[in-house]
Structure 1
């Protein structure tokens, strides 16, 4: 029991502390909205791509990778959006809010919170595995989010532009980094030592900086505006989705690190990008912000409980 508690605390507490630090630094004025805006652009365009690229470029191809896991991850991600859509038909009365609800209930913050949790739990190997699974999840997140936000936009007749959709996907820095890392690792080429060291310097500051930024953007005042819609989206994201996907993964024989990373993927809080996309599409930004706050606050206790149970059962 003590070992299990220490294991759980070692995974989730560092992330929780960094998020709290972001809240306190913002509240005391040490960081402000300008800092968060600039650092977020730095993280998204350079930092996180560096983390993904260097994690994947060093993959060991002497061990065959389970391609079925990639397929399962893709199916689980699409299923999450489908279940969120079904739930939206029951709990979201306003047509224009359904796209925001679905995205908030299904799109996880894998690039920041997910990678941080995977790194705390399994080190570089965990980051590499999650990075590889993001090969399928990031495009699916972007494609389905764009389509749903457009469909449930202010104008029901609004059409989704295939060209714009393609441009958004191929220009995403995270997708570019993931594909480049996989392609580079398959060539067998070695990264020059100087570039490798500089890249890892950059990668090491990324997750702490990103977590501070996420903490700084959290507004506890938003909790006072919480609606039953944001509550249901948050419940679906941090509880219902992992409760559905993880048992199925166990039945299929996944265990240890693969099962642990799948659980972290499914129970991550909603991605901050969902707010940006909701606002850009003319959606309900307040609802998107509420879902982000609720899932961020609820996910860490939920992840801790899930890890504790699975560690006690000996499946991870």
Structure 2
């Protein structure tokens, strides 16, 4: 039983860990560079990941439906994560202008890449479909909350919160579009032409490996030397405290198996790389944002492994 649980855990997290390490190594050896990472990231975000999401949702079992309680739990928990991060930031950030970077770093997860990769290893297409549905509600929340907290605490005097801009970004987001189209195709019962399905699966097959290599390539071990108390606190909130709060709550509400695993992975994901880009756009503390990304990415994999091992051992997943 112990060996089986260990192998089950390794099959989920080890491939992701290997691809991240490969990205770090390839970048160090010059096999990939910043230009490759930039181009491949655009390819993944605009085409490959939407293909994964669309194909998973278009084949979704219509009888399963969407659990409003589960979505509500994830949405409220994510919003509460921003509020908790704000409370902690009042105590651990020395400068007021660092609070926005701290808050989004502690609460904004990398669902589209790390989350999907882990759930795909664990449950395949059904897990990806469920995570994708959750992302349709959580990603807009992440974007809006991040813009608000960065705008409020920004050093950039001209920074403003553009409601029209936020709405435009959300409705033109390729991942959101893929979710909507996938759900519509699933509900309509229209079959996808085999040629379209095959081309989509070609894109889907390259998405997660390419995305993980890109994230690995962007990680800077040098950033660990600049680790601060704020980045440590943000990382602990993101990959330890949020899942410790939300997973027992989901279990008490009656969830187990795939649903409980998705809640766990949703809240234990490392900080999204996009948080660094947004921090720079708002003239925030970019080194702090980078530190949080590195610490949560390196810290989340052992935490996820331990969490999956424990939940598998007690029989709830």
Instruction: Work out the CA distance in 1 between the residues paired with 2:282 and 2:186.
Output: 37
Instruction: Work out the CA distance in 2 between the residues paired with 1:45 and 1:205.
Output: 13
Deviation by residue 1:33-91 (Cα, 9 ceiling, x = unmatched)? 11111101111111111111111111110233322111111111111111111111111
Q: Report how many residues are paired.
A: 316
* Contact 2:57–2:129 under 8 Å retained in 1: yes
Instruction: Work out the CA distance in 1 between the residues paired with 2:43 and 2:79.
Output: 29
TM-score, normalised via structure 1 length: 0.98
Query: 1:268 deviation in Å?
Result: 0.6
Deviation by residue 1:138-159 (Cα, 9 ceiling, x = unmatched)? 1111111111111111157854
Corresponding position: 1:236 with 2:240: no
Query: 1:18 deviation in Å?
Result: 0.4
Aligned partner of 1:312 in structure 2 is 313
Deviation by residue 1:188-234 (Cα, 9 ceiling, x = unmatched)? 11111100110011011000000000001111011000100101000
Pairwise CA RMSD: 1.2
Deviation by residue 1:266-307 (Cα, 9 ceiling, x = unmatched)? 101101011111111111111111100000000000000111
Distance 1:157 1:21, change over 3 A: closer
Corresponding position: 1:66 with 2:64: no
Instruction: Work out the CA distance in 2 between the residues paired with 1:95 and 1:171.
Output: 33
Instruction: Work out the CA distance in 2 between the residues paired with 1:201 and 1:155.
Output: 43
Aligned partner of 1:21 in structure 2 is 22
Instruction: Work out the CA distance in 1 between the residues paired with 2:91 and 2:157.
Output: 19
Aligned partner of 1:288 in structure 2 is 289
Instruction: Work out the CA distance in 2 between the residues paired with 1:40 and 1:56.
Output: 22
Aligned partner of 1:194 in structure 2 is 195
Instruction: Work out the CA distance in 1 between the residues paired with 2:65 and 2:219.
Output: 41
Instruction: Work out the CA distance in 1 between the residues paired with 2:159 and 2:204.
Output: 40
Moved more, 80-89 or 61-70: 61-70
Corresponding position: 1:258 with 2:259: yes
* Contact 1:53–1:181 under 8 Å retained in 2: yes
Aligned partner of 1:40 in structure 2 is 41
Instruction: Work out the CA distance in 1 between the residues paired with 2:268 and 2:23.
Output: 21
* Contact 2:156–2:283 under 8 Å retained in 1: no
Kindly report structure 1 stretches of 4+ aligned residues shifted beyond 4 Å: 155-158
Instruction: Work out the CA distance in 1 between the residues paired with 2:254 and 2:117.
Output: 25
Instruction: Work out the CA distance in 1 between the residues paired with 2:285 and 2:185.
Output: 40
Aligned partner of 2:146 in structure 1 is 145
Query: 1:92 deviation in Å?
Result: 1.1
Unpaired segments ≥5 residues, structure 2? none
* Contact 1:143–1:169 under 8 Å retained in 2: no
